[in-house]
Structure 1
Amino acid sequence: MRYSMLTLCLAAALAAGCSRDAAPPAGTAAKDTAAVTTADQKTTATVDEYSFAQPDKVRIDDLALELKVDFDNRQLGGSATYTLEWLDKNATQLVLDTRDLTIEKVVGERSDGKWEDLKFALADKDKVLGSKLTIEAPQRNPRIRVTYHTSPDASGLQWLTPEMTQGKKTPFMFSQSQQIHARSWVPLQDTPQVRFTYTAHVTAPQDAMVLMSADNDPKAARDGDYTFKMPQKIPSYLLAIAAGDLVFQPISGRAGVWAEPGMVKKAADEFADTDKMMQTAERLYGPYRWERYDILVLPPSFPYGGMENPRLTFATPTVIVGDKSLVSLVAHELAHSWSGNLVTFSTPKDSWLNEGFTSYVENRIVEDLYGKEAADMEKVISRNELAAEYKELDPKLQVLALRPGTLADPDGQSSSTVYTKGAWFLQFLEERYGREAFDPFLKEYFNHFAFQSIPTTTFVEYAKKNLLEKYPGKATEAELDQWIYEPGVPDTAPKTVSPRFNAVDAARKAWLDSGTLPAKDATSKWSTQEWVHFIDGMPETLKPEQLAALDAAFHFTGTPNGEIAQRWYPLAVRSGYTQANAAAAEFIARVGRRKLIMPTYAELVKTPEGLKLAEDTFAKARAGYHPITTQSVEETIAKAKQPKS
């Protein structure tokens, strides 16, 4: 879900993927440090604790959707037909995951081709998992169909009125299925352990173009009647849909951009290097296996930086800043075409297999296209964020392979762990074995496990055989175990130094020591990453007059760059620089991307005056936020209003 190095979350958001912009876990203090043994973690069975499904008994092999997009009622309605593979000869139930779905009817196909009603039961709702749907299938039907409709408040869908879009004329709808939100718009075996092909027939108002994570035709007519096919098997969290005033602009013969008419050219210009990124990844890690790679630019309310839906990455418009400085997000989502979409974690507790690998591949793409210095700056930023998060993070959440029961909600993982520590581990392996050995290893890993979902233990076994045993004396099993099963970052972690950041550090120190601002001829050449590093390295608070001087020189307040804004406004709030309050409120009201706005909310709620501003702003912005963002803000405000013990 996401998610370039610059799209890693700060430790301000609470609970709520890919991915990405994942929320730091609620309650990050290191309270319970009772360690689970490495041996226990290695031998844990591959059970997905976030799904009611029983994939060892029966699996969905193919999904056929018939859906109607109803903007007036904020609903998707229709049916889902499953082609099933019965694995257990004694199984006579199909158990599906749902959340806030209204189940109208369930039928099964008999051996004679006719359909019959099947009994079903929808269990009471669990706050995190939703409701277990149990379908009685005594004849072990080869196909079962569920007729249903979604709730207007489905956690995996957002419905926007025309006023909430850029064009202001057509309503908009989009999904966000990762981690376990697909069950809120399709009854499914909502676990990455189950991969399926799918087809869909979707009807919508004629002024709405419908797209899915499937074979979108750039030349498709906008006629309100759309069909889709995904021939490669995908897990449920990669099921995606969007509908709105969308047009297409090509980047190359196999890549392009979908966006609202007023955004599409700007986005295509910003993402012009997409095909070059594809060529780099193919050279390093093997062929791109998904045919097209298109990018859908969503309205600002999209809660994440990006989502790697196959063939159709969903992307936030906040990375379109005019200088390509944030296009590492595209490199990240593209990298998921190998790590995540092709080789998938089997449970959310193994998320690093998706995000750590993808962050590593992203960085290699950035290095290849934009140079080692650009890649190193991304590494330093993310590792600084990890160091800050690990000061408070429960050690149990600092391990790559999480112990079962560690997380109540899979949306509450530590992004620094699964993204940054995961990528850092792979860089450790790269440096120990050299790229001449590690690159072929990773390429063959993607090929060997293509279209499979695996746990951490499978990767470890593969690495031991194809790295440790093949090239003895370079790394030990104990070192692998430390990286994967123990908290913190090992002392053996490779260090990265950025000369350009050293210059930024010197400029910041000179200003803090003497009040002398950096020379404009130097700062005029600074990238977003250098400005981010400049602000990140400031003391916890500054005097209001110091912030006023920075603002007068560099115009941080009101910046259109979300990466700078999400660092400047919290610093301003902490420091009592009230001159930035109005712009901060406008920013968090306009943008729905959690990673960018939650740090400011988190600082505002610490004082009575700030809490009131946060509540007033949220009341105005709420209608435009995605349900995932809404939940994060609600929890932050509610926690701040609790009586202090």
Structure 2
Amino acid sequence: MDSRAGRWWGAGVAAVTAAVVAAVVLVSGIGDRDAVGPDGLRPGGVDAGDPYVPGSGNGGYDVAHYRLGVRYDPADDRLTGNAEITATATHGLSRFNLDLSGLEVSSVTVDGTSAEHQRDDDELVVTPARGLDSGTRFTVKVAYGGVPEADGDGVLGSGGFQHTDDGAIALGQPHSAATWFPVNDHPSDKATYDIEVTVPDGLAALSNGVPGERTSADGWTTWHWAERSPMASYLTTLVIGDYRVDTDEHAGKPMVTAVPYDVPADGPAATSLARTGEIADFLVTRFGPYPFQAYGGVVVPDDRIGYALETQSRPVYGPGFFRGGEPNYSVVAHELAHQWFGNSVALARWGDIWLNEGFASYAEWLWEEHDGGRSAQRNFELQYAATDWSRRTLDPGPGQMFSTAVYKRGALTVHALRRTVGDETFFQILRTWTSERRDGTATTADFVALAERVSGRDLGRFFDTWLTSTTAPTPP
């Protein structure tokens, strides 16, 4: 994510080790561990166990795939949906939870049999007719509907499902998916997706992944999208409205870009998106093969979206990035870099968010140098002089997840690593990371271990200093 168009809100090796412990907790989540029945079954966790996002995610199962079918009418702001969720129990389950905000549930089945269900605030509690043994693969179907609500956590302004003058926008970080479908809403549980969106004829309905067949009947058009690489739930998006949609091909894959019809086709927004393929190709030379089966980007006209978000394969950009008359290639480089750092290699816990934002911010410096601007070294020097070193980058605290300490001090750490190990080893570290961790999740401890393995050096003190020290490190 790049939040510069909006507002900013604002332990060393031991903390790195703690990341591993926290990642283990996230596997099962927080549940009623004393409620084990004589059959060995117990409730799934009601929380993923991540202190940065209390209440988000659930435990006891691992989702493999979501098949979503939603119908949305902007005239009455009503959404109806059917979700089919394929998952595997990670321990014996007597019941389990899904995250779902605001919408009403009319029916739930588990493996074709009606299941008891009840709401507990933003939790949908499902009790199947028969318990699920550990390792059991099961399918949940949920029919639901209502008027979706925005996510009002205020961390980055407006998020979740938001009604617009001509349709709707659904996106946000660290969570947003639960405002429009039932989900295990934490990046530690990635899954593949099929998304079908039905809207009144004449409106576009954009989402993630590869576009499929578009069908129309009785005044409604259904748009089909498929994301076959595992995706964290907050990276899903839905953009509905009056958009000029361009579908092209780049490097043998579909490239779908969209801007509102009232945005000039030769203006800074469209001009910036037009270089998506070129920028992605440059990043391939630094980070390794592009990790997904589609490219693209969407510019939204709504000033409530004061940020850009790396929604998988198709980033969404708020309008503030393209004011002033000049293209903004830096934000495109930032969100495309996230396709490797944050999307393909996702977070196991939000306290390690610098792994996303530090590398994406550093990609801005790499692109600027490649495009004839300031060198990465010069950007390092300028940012080093402007940095408040009292604020840590690793485990910055929930209120500082999107602070400059995460973004810019994170980028300083990345460049300092490059200077410490040398260019050849540095880029080998990056390409090894994106290759070995592709489609998975990771922690800072994982990255430190890999960097030490590839470089053959003990880097514990280096990362301790650059990520957590409260005094300015000596530049390498």
Band of TM-score, shorter chain: 0.7 to 0.9
Deviation, 1:146, is 1.6
Distance 1:274 1:152, change over 3 A: closer
Give the SS at the match of 2:333. helix
Q: Report the residue type matching 2:82 in the other structure.
A: S
Q: Is the 8 A contact 1:180 1:190 kept in 2?
A: yes
- State the partner residue of 1:146: 142
Matched position secondary structure for 2:191: strand
- Partners in 1 of 2:324 and 2:293 — Cα distance? 28
Deviations 1:600-643 (A, max 9, x none): xxxxxxxxxxxxxxxxxxxxxxxxxxxxxxxxxxxxxxxxxxxx
- Return closer, same or farther for 1:236/1:377 CA change in 2, 3 Å cut-off: same
Partner of residue 242, structure 1: 239
Determine if contact 1:38/1:481 at 8 Å carries over to the other structure. yes
For 2:451, which of 447, 463, 477 is the aligned residue?
Answer: 463
Residue 192, structure 1, aligned to residue 195, structure 2: no
**Alignment correspondent of 2:34:** none
Letter in 2 for 1:74: D
* Whole-angstrom CA distance in 1 between matches of 2:380 and 2:79: 41
1:240 positional shift: 0.6
Counterpart pick for 2:63 among 60, 63, 67: 60
TM-score by length of 1: 0.61
For residue 300 of structure 2, what is the amino acid of its counterpart? L
- Give the alignment partner of residue 122 of structure 1, picking from 119, 122, 145: 119
Q: Tell me which amino acid in the other structure corresponds to 2:317.
A: A
Worse overlay, 188-197 or 360-369: 360-369
Q: Does 1:39 align with 2:41?
A: no
Letter in 2 for 1:241: L
Q: What is the CA deviation profile of residues 493-515 of structure 1, one whole-angstrom value per residue up to 9, with x for unaligned ones?
A: 46xxxxxxxxxxxxxxxxxxxxx
Residue 227 in structure 1 maps to residue 224 in structure 2: yes
2:124 aligned residue (106, 130, 133): 133
* Amino acid corresponding to residue 443 of structure 1 in structure 2: R
Distance verdict in 2 for CA 1:327–1:338, change over 3 Å: same
**Post-superposition offset of 1:483:** 2.2
SS in 2 for 1:365: helix
TM-score for both structures, normalised by structure 2: 0.82
Secondary structure in 1 matching 2:163: strand
Which residue does 2:359 correspond to in 1? 357
- The 5 A counterparts of 1:253-292 are 253=250, 254-255=254-255, 257-263=257-263, 265=265, 266=267, 267-292=269-294
Residues 221 and 320 (structure 1 numbering): CA distance in 2 closer, same or farther, change over 3 Å? farther
Paired amino acid for 2:472: P
> Partner of 1:429: helix, strand, or coil?
helix
* 1:401 pairs with one of 389, 394, 409: 394
Distance 2:377 2:5 in 1: 16
Higher relative strand content: 2
Question: How far apart in 2 are the matches of 1:314 and 1:41?
Answer: 32
Alignment match, 2:350: 348
Q: Is the 8 A contact 2:81 2:143 kept in 1?
A: yes
Whether 2:291 is the aligned partner of 1:301: answer no
Secondary structure of 2:465's match?
A: helix
How far the C-alpha of 1:76 sits from its partner, in A, is 2.2
Alignment of 1:87-126 (within 5 A): 87-88=90-91, 90-109=92-111, 115-123=112-120, 125=121
Per the alignment, in what secondary structure is the counterpart of residue 83 of structure 1? strand
Change (3 A) 1:53 1:316: closer
1:214 corresponds to which of 201, 204, 209: 209
Deviation at 1:369, TM superposition (A): 2.0
What is the deviation of 1:292? 2.5
Task: Kindly state the Cα deviation for residue 351 of structure 1 after the two structures are TM-superposed.
Answer: 0.8
Q: Structure 1 40/248 Cα, relative in aligned 2: closer, same or farther at 3 Å? A: closer
Deviations 1:422-467 (A, max 9, x none): 1110100001112121011111111110011112221122222222
Q: Is the 8 A contact 1:214 1:228 kept in 2?
A: yes
Deviations 1:214-241 (A, max 9, x none): 2236x95775122221111101011110
Distance in 1 between residues matched to 2:394 and 2:419, nearest whole Å: 22
1:201 aligns to what? 196
For 1:45, give the aligned amino acid: A
Q: Structure 2 vs 1, CA of residues 450 and 323 (structure 1 numbering), >3 Å: closer, same or farther?
A: same
Amino acid at match of 1:122: R
Which residue type is aligned with residue 451 of structure 2? A
Tell me by how many angstroms 1:278 deviates. 1.4
Give the aligned partner of residue 408 of structure 2. Answer: 420
List per-residue Cα deviations over 1:496-537 (Å, max 9, x = no partner).
xxxxxxxxxxxxxxxxxxxxxxxxxxxxxxxxxxxxxxxxxx
Whole-angstrom distance in 2 between the partners of 1:105 and 1:220: 28
Q: Write the distance in 2 (CA, Å) between the matches of 1:462 and 1:66.
A: 40
Larger radius of gyration: 1
Taking a change above 3 Å as real, the CA distance of residues 385 and 251 of structure 1, as seen in their structure-2 partners, is farther
Which of 455, 461, 468 is matched with 1:478 structurally?
A: 461
Uncovered stretches (5+) of structure 2, i.e. residues with no partner: 27-49, 152-159
Q: Distance in 1 between matches of 2:361 and 2:177?
A: 24
Counterpart residue number, 1:176: 171
> CA 1:307/1:385 → structure 2, altered by over 3 Å: closer, same or farther?
farther
Q: Distance in 2 between matches of 1:55 and 1:153?
A: 21
Q: CA deviation at 1:263?
A: 1.7
Match of 1:436 among 424, 430, 450: 424
The answer on whether the counterparts of 2:345 and 2:442 sit within 8 Å (CA) in structure 1 is yes
Match of residue 38 from structure 2? none
CA contact (8 A) 2:78 2:146 kept: yes
1:380: Cα distance to partner?
Answer: 6.5
The one-letter code of the counterpart of 1:239 is T
CA distance in 1, matches of 2:172, 2:78: 16
Q: Which amino acid aligns with 1:143?
A: T
**What's the CA shift for 1:356?**
0.8
Q: What does the per-residue CA deviation read over 1:101-149, in whole Å, with 9 as the maximum and x for residues that have no partner?
A: 322221111xxxxx222112322x3xxxxx2322113343710112222
Cα RMSD between the aligned structures? 2.7
Do the aligned partners of residues 239 and 302 (structure 1) sit closer, same or farther apart at CA in structure 2, a change above 3 Å counting? same
Q: Per the alignment, in what secondary structure is the counterpart of residue 126 of structure 2? A: strand
State the identity %.
Answer: 22
Distance in 2 between residues matched to 1:338 and 1:433, nearest whole Å: 21
Cα pair distance change 1:231/1:264, threshold 3 Å: farther
Cα drift, residue 42 of structure 1: 1.8
Question: Following the alignment from structure 1 to structure 2, what is the Cα–Cα distance between the partners of residues 346 and 451?
Answer: 12
CA–CA distance in structure 2, aligned partners of residues 303 and 325 of structure 1: 18
Deviation at 1:243, TM superposition (A): 0.7
Gaps of 5+ in 1: 14-22, 26-35, 110-114, 126-130, 162-170, 495-645
Structure 1 position 255, deviation (Å):
3.6
Aligned to 1:168: none
Aligned residues: 427
**8 Å Cα contact 2:5/2:306 also seen in 1:** no
Match of 2:87 among 78, 84, 89: 84
- Range that drifts further, 251-260 or 302-311: 251-260
